[in-house]
Amino acid sequence: MSNPETQNETALAVQTAPTAFLAPRNIAEALEAASVLAKSSLIPQSFQGKPADVLVALQYGAEVGLKPMASLRGIAVVNGKPGLYGDALLAVVQRSSLYAGHVETFDEQTQTATATFQRKGVETAFVATFSQADAEKAGLWRKAGPWTNYPKRMLALRARAFALRNGFADVLGGADMAEELMDYIPATVIPAAVEMPRRKSEAAPAPAPVLEAEVVTSEGPHGTTTASGPVAAAPVREPVNTPESANTPAEPTFTDDPGHDAPPAKDGSVFVIKSASLGAKGESKRGPWQVFNVFTLDGKKFGTFSETIYQKALALVGKAARITANEPNAKGNVEIVSLEAVGE
């Protein structure tokens, strides 16, 4: 006869075993699940209202072994590229049958983080270090944000990411760590300068000087590889005297005024703010207006009528920010709905 206590324990185990609540069997069910999730306020803001992004995130997470909700929590989109937060990256490897343990240490004297990972079937451990000296060389040390608030944590995450990618590239499938992506400055294409009209009596503007810009291309626990190349500086032009009427701009074609038909909000991705500046201003039937422009390092331009958003953008120049914006209107203008700092 079987033991009643054993039967009760078995029944309890069956009742408390986790179940796969989201398990679509085809693309139609997957799209339906993504649409429902996108309407929820319990998922990250960057996925709210975007069922297609939710679906891709779920698939991205499934490919590396993450469950649906863990995928939405652990995946961040930075400058259009998905990445896994440091703890999610570790979770993916720990769930793998190849994981055989790890140790992470920190040397206070040298300010060096060390990550050591063991892989089943491999005698040699995968060890990576990242120190204050490495961070200084990469231009990260005391950078505003988490590098100032939690420097030890950021050093530890870098060492962890290097060791994980070296030892478990097949498990991670090429996944990047989100905290690293937030530190990388995306390459930008500088458009050719457009020469402004001038009188025949005016001298042509001097050619733009050429500056040397160092671009970090890769980092490793034993050093940083860099490459430099010429970048043309923006030309400086003298103002041209024009009649006052010519300086009066047209009323802006995007606005947060409820009286206008603003397209629905979108995006919520992370960008690095390049600059913020005053734009056009003028008068309308509703009173005076002022446009504020926000530019990102990947070449995007946003506009806003909110001085509060403008001041936030000024304070975040050179830093990462999550920007939610309206869809471009008929003339291609994009208006910011909200702008928040990332990692502070």
pLDDT per residue as tens digits for the range 85-122: 989 999 999 999 999 999 999 999 999 999 999 999 99
pLDDT at 330: 67
pLDDT at 263: 57
pLDDT at 205: 59
pLDDT at 204: 60
Distances in whole angstroms, Cα of residue 289 to Cα of each of 214, 225, 293:
40, 48, 13
pLDDT at 232: 43
Below-50 pLDDT ranges, the chain: 1-2, 6-17, 187-194, 210-261
Tens of pLDDT, residue by residue over 59-79, are 888 888 888 888 888 888 887
pLDDT at 233: 45
* Cα gap 36→107, rounded to integer Å: 47
Beta strands in the chain (DSSP E): 75-78, 81-84, 99-107, 112-119, 126-131, 210-220, 223-232, 265-284, 287-296, 301-304, 320-326, 336-341
pLDDT at 343: 63
pLDDT at 143: 86
